[in-house]
Structure 1
């Protein structure tokens, strides 16, 4: 009955062998805070001219930063399911900008190599992250109250502003994520620079998104948090953040491999939706009344509706996944009598970003990834659409 309800946004992380070849002398760059770095006129990037009509890996012009922007040499970029939605044009609410093409990507990790005349607080050689929220107006009600992602004038990396699937990208200096130098981090070290840059990239959207959702749940220490699609890329990150924040984690997914992986990340109870005969009863029994919060990452509308049945009275259901065209239907009786709180959570602000990165920098969050060349992005999208992706994919822009 439930076998298709909890299909995750992506499946469990995997390890792969990758030779890191980005040899960057940060000491030299950091001494050149106001210097001009040699930037090529052209670069490699992946572009598309129309939705769902093919990606092209080609030479494109290197962008020039506006007065408020950084120019970032992108080393690695995570591939998010959102990138596929953008390419397909699934979300008609977005005013996509083709000029004449669009470059996707919004989990870019790289080095500042240029900046506009009005930029303050950054220098050449700093490490920067490119996020989904490329910029916001900083003057509206939402920006002033820390809800920058809800700004009506927001620009979105890889959708309304060319993103990180290129070797050099621009991003607003205010919204750019400040990445730590791994040499200053106890659990990383200078010799792991490239590994850090590759693994931090999924945190810029995936990690940030689930961390913000957990904050929106208003959970308290030792309360139960249920993660749907817990064996997927987002689910694996949500499990780890929940554990690090002091919550008890119950997960829904299927398969022995995912169960084992979930528990290595700190998950406590695993519900296999393909094996259970009564998922609501199993969840409520395991948590003695139901989870205090549900983080919905699944791409099925039905799984979201079902969560109102097993969620604890006075609990919170956080909607994160964005399946195209999905409509949530549930029993109003359950909402009212159980006093359920249903909220949406959409990425995060600058403070959320800083906090999410700090968990990663301290070694509390694992980011096990598969790295492929940027030139292979079209194949990644094809595999993602067919449900073949196992884990979080990161593209190396040098390949």
Structure 2
């Protein structure tokens, strides 16, 4: 009798200042975990030889865009997919420049872990502070501090401990939940996939070992049940409400509330991939049938349990402005929250007159219709929203609701 082992998936992001060796670290991770195809490695070796390099430049495995290669920098979020026998990985390799802060926000917004790189020679710098602040803002559950280029400081423990101590102070300032420091040399491969004898004083895991073992996927399933309705399926007199369960669980027999109407009903059936089930867990996509004929449409949210979302038209949030055109007090925008889109007015920007591209700030909005919001610290899915230009549909701003303010 055969047994089946479930392999889960970790979504993680990388961030670091320019020249901290982030692309080389990602390349080393892919290379040493044997996640690189032979023709890819051959192409990297060919380009490296043409540049006069004696060893393959592993940074080329991630710097796939022509503009990146020509400038020697990473300028966009590059998503990489790889797997080991223990876990699958989705990696968002984000840029280091301050003018690409919005790219890091995009890459880290769905990450369960962020690897923040620092150069062992320079330690914590201004961009490190910015990356840590963004990780704290986005409530990333797990943080790795990768102290890179340890080979350039002769693998000295004192240098590593000094940087880890500096970062601990920073983590406390920006509200990070904690972090795991790992001394690495991406160029030499120390503590990337396997533990290194050159850091005999270090007793912790190698980077890949940590990535394979960190807990994932539990937060959304344990959270309150939230089911944004994506569309309504009608079969005669029977209606089924379809969408993705973004957090928690729904069971046949559960008493539920529909927001924003506040109407209540009971779940009489759940359809998952064409078959009836008794229970559904986030992040399954399902169809839900209710006992009563309720006026439920796209954009409504079905919830279960006593932990109800906050129904409000006054939204306060931390934001990162993504668009090149500024966001100003008095602007009329569209606010998209899960499957619901409503008109909104920018009332305040925490005293600022406008937000430019890559700016981090705070916002107060008034929406034309109520929203069923959770605090972002409670749910990264139902506490997040985006602002949209009503004229051309362009995404303007990413927001993280702060209902405690």
Compute the TM-score of the two structures, normalised by the length of structure 1. 0.27
For the pair shown, the structure with the greater C-alpha radius of gyration is 2
As a proportion of its length, which structure holds more strand?
Answer: 2
As a proportion of its length, which structure holds more helix?
Answer: 1
**Structure with more contact order per residue of length (Cα contacts < 8 Å, sep ≥ 6):** 1
Compute the TM-score of the two structures, normalised by the length of structure 2. 0.27
